[in-house]
Amino acid sequence: MMVRKMVQLFFAVIGVVLGYSFSPALFHSLHITQPPFSSRWFGAVLGGSVFVLCTFWLVNYVTTLIKWTEDKLQKTPLADILGGTVGMVIGLLVAYLFAPAIRVIPVVGLSVQFFVSLLLAYLGLRIGFTKREDLLSLFAGKLSSREKDKDKDKKNLKAGEAKLLDTSVIIDGRIADLVQTGFLDGVLVIPSFVLEELQHIADSSDVLKRNRGRRGLDVLNRIQKELKVKVQVHEVDFDDIQEVDSKLVRLAKQMRGKVVTNDFNLNKVCELQGVPVLNINDLANALKPIVLPGEELSVQVIKDGKEYNQGVAYLDDGTMIVIEGGREYIGGKLDVLVTSVLQTSAGRMIFAKPKLLEKAL
């Protein structure tokens, strides 16, 4: 409806202008020396009325043409439109430069100028469309020196130099302390899909998840601003993969880097696919005080275990101690003897039995 009104208004304005401009000559050719009203204003009203009447059968064709053009433009990629437009403008500028020389040609000067303008505009449109990528890159300019340096650094990373951080190790927070000590060298790479997952967690409606996500963002901010280590945010994604862990493994293969995590399952996936992995939990377990079978420990029994008559206690560093026959001592202090130690990437677990039971035997 709006297009129809605009078309009708356009024709009405054209009719008024033409009537106002040519009405004196029209009345003179009809030998009307004294028209009933002012010849120009009467001609403007007459011309506007005639053109408005014409729009009743022209407006449908014009609006159809406009809608067809609009549909074509919406379906055409923006790069094609920009390239064609830039090429056409350049063609018209060239035609404008040649116009003074063409216009002086006797008789056919104006006709030749019009034809040359149309030809150069068409040629510019076609060349701009086919060479759109070159034109857009020319007008966009070259990459800034900073972006070039980043791209150069990404390409020149040696095997194992890139350390790719996953979401769990960022939220954990210990990575910042580890970097500060200088034990983790190379370049820390944070993929964009990891950042997106971290942002999604920080925006969660669940309070616990939201706090964990915000803590991860704070850790990244500390690493980038406070610690003297190279950090790269790698803008990459794999549309054919949904899982963030799988994307991380593929990127590590491409960059020949190492995955830094504390996720037990991701650790196993990396090992199966031959990707080097640095597990923070493995490092923490390696640094824990060694407890050997036969040693005595004084612990606080917290709860019962999964098996019958078991009790569970914890060391100060969070290591779980499973006490056979310790269920009856829940809530109290107990001296135990270590029977065995199980250490995996998921953590360390100590099995023990009450020292009183050993004395009784």
For 141-195, the pLDDT digits (tens) are: 544 444 445 454 455 566 667 888 888 889 888 888 888 888 887 888 888 888 8
Provide the token pair at 339: 């029977």
Q: So what's the pLDDT on residue 145? A: 46
Q: What is the pTM of this model?
A: 0.44
Phi, psi of 77 (to 5 degrees): -60, 150
Using one digit for the tens of pLDDT, what is the confidence trace for 315-331?
A: 877 788 999 988 888 98
Q: What is the pLDDT of residues 74-95, one digit of tens each?
A: 777 766 777 778 888 888 888 8
Q: In percent, how much of the chain has pLDDT > 90?
A: 6
**Percentage with pLDDT > 70 across the chain:** 71
Strand bridging mode 277-279 / 258-261 = parallel
Taken in order of first residue, the domains within the chain and their CATH numbers are 1-75 (no CATH), 77-141 (no CATH), 163-283 (3.40.50.1010), 288-360 (2.40.50.140)
Q: In this model, does residue 360 exceed pLDDT 60? A: no
Task: Name residue, tokens 């074509």.
Answer: 72
36 vs 4 pLDDT, higher one: 4
H/E element, 245: helix 244-255
The answer to whether the beta carbons of residues 35 and 15 sit under 8 Å apart is no
Please tell me the predicted confidence (pLDDT) of residue 142: 47
- Is the Cβ–Cβ distance between 323 and 312 less than 8 Å? yes
- CA nearest neighbour of 285 among 335, 320, 324: 320
Question: Is pLDDT of 61 > 80?
Answer: no
Q: Classify residue 334 as left (phi > 0), alpha (psi -120 to 50) or beta.
A: beta
Kindly report, residue by residue over 99-130, the tens digit of the pLDDT: 888 878 877 777 888 888 888 888 887 887 77
